[in-house]
Amino acid sequence: MAPDAPLPPGSVIGILGGGQLGRMLAMAAAEMGFRVHVFAPPGDNPATDVAHASTLAAWDDFAALDAFAAAVDAITYEFENIPVATAEFLASRKPLRPGVRALAVAQDRLNEKTLAQDLGIAVPLFRPVDAAAELAEARTFVGHTGRPAILKTRRLGYDGKGQAVIRSDADAAAAWPAIGGVPAILEEMIPFTREISVLVARGADGTVRVFDVPENRHRHGILDTSTVPAAVTPGLARRAEAIGRRIAEELGYVGLLAVELFVEGEGDDAKLLFNEIAPRVHNSGHWTTDACLVSQFEQHIRAVAGWPLGDPRRHSDVVMTNLIGADIDAWPALAAEPGARLHLYGKAESRPGRKMGHVNRIRPRSG
Amino acid sequence: MAPDAPLPPGSVIGILGGGQLGRMLAMAAAEMGFRVHVFAPPGDNPATDVAHASTLAAWDDFAALDAFAAAVDAITYEFENIPVATAEFLASRKPLRPGVRALAVAQDRLNEKTLAQDLGIAVPLFRPVDAAAELAEARTFVGHTGRPAILKTRRLGYDGKGQAVIRSDADAAAAWPAIGGVPAILEEMIPFTREISVLVARGADGTVRVFDVPENRHRHGILDTSTVPAAVTPGLARRAEAIGRRIAEELGYVGLLAVELFVEGEGDDAKLLFNEIAPRVHNSGHWTTDACLVSQFEQHIRAVAGWPLGDPRRHSDVVMTNLIGADIDAWPALAAEPGARLHLYGKAESRPGRKMGHVNRIRPRSG
């Protein structure tokens, strides 16, 4: 087989990470006739329930990684906090898609914001903060922008964790310990009218396909709903798509990339500002499973396997709602709701803030 | 938990059989947060690739069946030729849905045709044939009906196997050895205008939901395409649905039942004749995965788990085409076709006549 030939059915896709994203990727791969091998640290790994094979080992267990690489034909990941050394080790053995660079960029807010800025994409004002003393400048920063600021850890932040809002000197003093005293970036807080995300897929051949842009609402820092179509103009949606495409192309990206954007203002004149990227399938793309013929999960596996990308057309309108923690206790009512499709992740235990499932409510397409 | 309470997420669904139907059932169950345990005789069992646990043992290995029953919360099956003794053994230990009676009826063409006739459903003329000598009557039978006859084994026939057409005395002489000299039934051959099937689901609470009726075309005795909507009038579709409902209710059925029907003539006056039932998810329902919010697989698992049935509404028009044997070699072209979704079964080896996958081609709903 030529090195760039698409992987034939029966090939083995390796997935790094055993959570719900890995689980949904594994099922998409199985639908395409692939076998899946999950690699994840020991713990509650619901992806292993639907995988042909699993290796439970630490990210720095290089003997286990070596055996895993030998057992698979291509490798992808379900989350971006895999150590770069692990990714590099695997990439030297089998195709790793998306590649190491996307991972390295996405792991550090300073890197990703700098990349966007370098590409001419509008970004909230930001500056790196490496010590408590530097936060004294926050007041100047706030004064300069006329907006509150937000301090975010550069690494390992997700679902609103590792963030502190600064509106006053007292906030500034509290923010550094609040985020754990680690390297951070200080950003102006955008008074956005809405948040949207671009779900852009780029194939191994460079083809780019973009799903319709969802509008995302958060609750307690965690995604609550994604609604499609978003209440944005076609012109704005096209500008958002162009941003996603530019980043995917710059990164030589192969797979599904999510780009989160702030919308400031309304209509065609609304401003789009870069927030962050996720080099993987994304919670704000879960609606695609029930509103499109090809889901974000299948689209990602297609790219990883070197297949042509699928048709991202949307056949229905949809609102995706996350089930966080005890929200899952409503499953009997959700199971009985017409027009709703329930997706549960098979996690052993429900904890506050833990993503346990989601529900897609679909309606006939409005236009 | 009350005996009739719905199974909560995290429960274990046992599936008898490890083929593509078991595989698609297993993925539907996983999407609902269940774990799946597959029981199948050793061999190529693609369902085990997406199952939490598997037991590979013979249908008469009662020690293995006992351990399997102890490990699961409810049991279903992907095919109807499981020995009744096996089904009875399991049903005495855990809820088996659909039950033993549906299995016993569906295993014998004489039983299923007699059941339909007893329910007042029109059935092609038929008679049991237990010996070669009885086939001498075939000529009379043909003369009586004015139509050719078809000899079918009572048991273990599928995909056109175990059938012989009789148009002449010579055919009659050849037919008995051709089907292997086993108990059979002789039927008049219906000059049908089309074949349709009813995909009827009945919940544990007796609720019945019916998918839109597909029109099915066969090639070499094997299902080739299912098209929805079928070219039948709404009145005929309603009559077909009523037949499915009557059979499901008579059997106290819980799960997805397929009823195959012949249509003779056109329009509202067309005649509907019973052909056969399958007490399981059915190849002619594979289109539901991509054209409905809730697929036949999820609908079946909902019934097995005691959940409320899902919404069988169809959001798109669809043509499902089976990939038989070497048809799967066309996967690169099918993967690139817009509006087509490819489903491959992960079987290790392609053989003539073997179902390797299917493709659903969807279009916006016509009405």
Q: What is the mean pLDDT of residues A105-111?
A: 94
Q: With an 8 Å Cβ cutoff, are B49 and A35 in contact?
A: yes
Q: What ipTM describes this predicted complex?
A: 0.95
Phi-psi region of B206 (alpha: psi -120 to 50; beta: other; left: phi over 0): left
Intra-chain end-to-end CA distance of chain A, in Å? 44
Q: With an 8 Å Cβ cutoff, are A10 and B35 in contact?
A: no
Distance in angstroms (rounded) separating the CA atoms of residues A206 and A203: 5
Q: Report phi then psi at A212, rounded to 5.
A: -60, 145
Q: Which residues of B touch A6 (CB under 8 A)?
A: 332, 335
Q: Are residues B130 and B243 in the same domain?
A: no
Question: Is there a domain that residue B20 lies in?
Answer: yes
Task: Give the pLDDT confidence of A295-342 residue by residue, as tens digits.
Answer: 999 999 999 999 999 999 999 999 999 999 999 999 999 999 999 999
Of the partner residues A30, A293, A348, the one whose CB lies closest to the CB of residue B290: A293
Question: Is there a domain that residue A207 lies in?
Answer: yes
Q: Are residues B251 and B316 in the same domain?
A: yes
Distance in angstroms (rounded) separating the CA atoms of residues A16 and A82: 8
Question: Is there a domain that residue A113 lies in?
Answer: no
In this structure, the strands spanning A149-153 and A126-129 are: unpaired
* H or E segment to which residue A266 belongs: none
pLDDT at B160 over 70: no
Choose the mutation target among A24, A292, A293, A301 for the interface with B, i.e. most B CBs under 10 Å.
A293
Contacts of B333 (CB under 8 A, 6+ apart): none
- CATH code of residue B145: 3.30.1490.20
Q: With an 8 Å Cβ cutoff, are A328 and B30 in contact?
A: no
Q: Are residues B144 and B69 in the same domain?
A: no
Q: Are residues A240 and A333 in the same domain?
A: yes
Q: What is the mean pLDDT of residues B345-352?
A: 93
Q: Which residues of A touch B8 (CB under 8 A)?
A: 331
Instruction: State which residue of chain A sits closest to B328, comparing Cα positions.
Output: A9
* H or E segment to which residue B2 belongs: none
The gap from C-alpha B309 to its chain's centroid, in whole angstroms, comes to 19
Helix H segments across A72-108?
84-91, 100-106
Q: Are residues A348 and A212 in the same domain?
A: yes
Q: Are residues B78 and B178 in the same domain?
A: no
Choose the mutation target among B32, B350, B354 for the interface with A, i.e. most A CBs under 10 Å.
B32
Burial of B66-86, coded b for 16+ CB within 10 Å and e otherwise, reads eebbebbbbbbbbbbebeeeb
- CATH code of residue A61: 3.40.50.20
Confidence of residue A169 (pLDDT cuts 50, 70, 90): confident
Q: With an 8 Å Cβ cutoff, are A346 and B315 in contact?
A: no
Question: Is there a domain that residue A130 lies in?
Answer: yes
Task: Give the pLDDT confidence of A210-222 residue by residue, as tens digits.
Answer: 999 999 999 988 9
CB atoms within 10 A of CB A246: 17
CA A332 to each of CA A225, B5, B309: distance values in angstroms, whole numbers, following the listed order: 20, 10, 11
Q: With an 8 Å Cβ cutoff, are B357 and A10 in contact?
A: no
3-state secondary structure of A144: helix
pLDDT attached to residue B159: 66
Task: Give the pLDDT confidence of A240-299 residue by residue, as tens digits.
Answer: 999 999 999 999 999 999 999 999 999 999 999 999 999 999 999 999 999 999 999 999
Tell which of B139, B171, B188 closes a domain: B188
pLDDT attached to residue A66: 98
Instruction: State which residue of chain B sits closest to A339, comparing Cα positions.
Output: B311
Q: With an 8 Å Cβ cutoff, are B345 and A33 in contact?
A: yes
Question: Is there a domain that residue A336 lies in?
Answer: yes
Q: With an 8 Å Cβ cutoff, are A315 and B364 in contact?
A: yes
Higher confidence at residue B4 or residue B231?
A: B231
pLDDT at A119 over 60: yes
Q: Which residues of A touch B335 (CB under 8 A)?
A: 6, 302, 307-308, 310
Q: Are residues A238 and A290 in the same domain?
A: yes
pLDDT attached to residue A140: 79
Listed range (B148-162, B204-218, B223-237, B297-311) with the worst mean pLDDT = B148-162
Of the partner residues A341, A344, A345, the one whose CB lies closest to the CB of residue B294: A341
Of the partner residues B51, B313, B341, the one whose CB lies closest to the CB of residue A294: B341
Q: Are residues A204 and A344 in the same domain?
A: yes
Number of domains chain B is built from: 3
Choose the mutation target among A315, A317, A359, A365 for the interface with B, i.e. most B CBs under 10 Å.
A315
Contacts of B208 (CB under 8 A, 6+ apart): B200, B201, B202, B245, B248, B249
Q: Are residues B25 and B90 in the same domain?
A: yes
Q: Which residue has the tokens 């399997």?
A: B68
Question: Is there a domain that residue B119 lies in?
Answer: no
Q: Which residues of B touch A307 (CB under 8 A)?
A: 335
Q: With an 8 Å Cβ cutoff, are A341 and B316 in contact?
A: no
Instruction: State which residue of chain A sits closest to B365, comparing Cα positions.
Output: A315
And the tokens for A70? 């030998």
Domain that holds residue A222: 194-364
Q: With an 8 Å Cβ cutoff, are A27 and B32 in contact?
A: no
Question: Is there a domain that residue A334 lies in?
Answer: yes
Instruction: State which residue of chain A sits closest to B11, comparing Cα positions.
Output: A346
pLDDT attached to residue B15: 98
Q: Are residues B158 and B204 in the same domain?
A: no
3-state secondary structure of B14: strand
Instruction: State which residue of chain B sits closest to A49, comparing Cα positions.
Output: B52
Q: With an 8 Å Cβ cutoff, are B33 and A345 in contact?
A: yes
How many CA atoms within 13 Å lie on the side-chain side of A131? 2
- CATH code of residue A252: 3.30.470.20
Of the partner residues B8, B311, B335, the one whose CB lies closest to the CB of residue A339: B311
Q: Are residues B210 and B168 in the same domain?
A: no
Q: With an 8 Å Cβ cutoff, are A339 and B34 in contact?
A: no
Task: Give the pLDDT confidence of A30-67 residue by residue, as tens digits.
Answer: 999 999 999 999 999 999 999 999 999 999 999 999 99
* H or E segment to which residue B149 belongs: strand B149-153
Confidence of residue A25 (pLDDT cuts 50, 70, 90): very high
Q: Are residues B286 and B300 in the same domain?
A: yes
Q: Which residues of B touch A339 (CB under 8 A)?
A: 293, 311, 313
Question: Is there a domain that residue B76 lies in?
Answer: yes
Tell which of B169, B188, B207 closes a domain: B188
Average of per-residue pLDDT values in chain B: 94
Neighbour-count burial of A2, counting CB atoms closer than 10 A to its CB (0-12 exposed, 13-18 middle, 19+ buried): exposed
Task: Give the pLDDT confidence of B62-102 residue by residue, as tens digits.
Answer: 999 999 999 999 999 999 889 999 999 999 999 999 999 99
Q: What is the mean pLDDT of residues B124-142?
A: 84
pLDDT attached to residue B115: 97
Q: With an 8 Å Cβ cutoff, are B346 and A35 in contact?
A: yes
Of the partner residues B31, B302, B307, the one whose CB lies closest to the CB of residue A343: B31
Distance in angstroms (rounded) separating the CA atoms of residues B45 and B38: 9
Confidence of residue A160 (pLDDT cuts 50, 70, 90): low
pTM beyond 0.90:
yes
CA distance B137 to chain A (A): 49
CB pairs under 8 A between A and B: 110
Distance in angstroms (rounded) separating the CA atoms of residues B81 and A157: 54
Q: With an 8 Å Cβ cutoff, are A331 and B8 in contact?
A: yes
Q: With an 8 Å Cβ cutoff, are B32 and A342 in contact?
A: yes
pLDDT at B302 over 90: yes
Tell which of B135, B156, B188 closes a domain: B188
CA distance A341 to chain B (A): 7
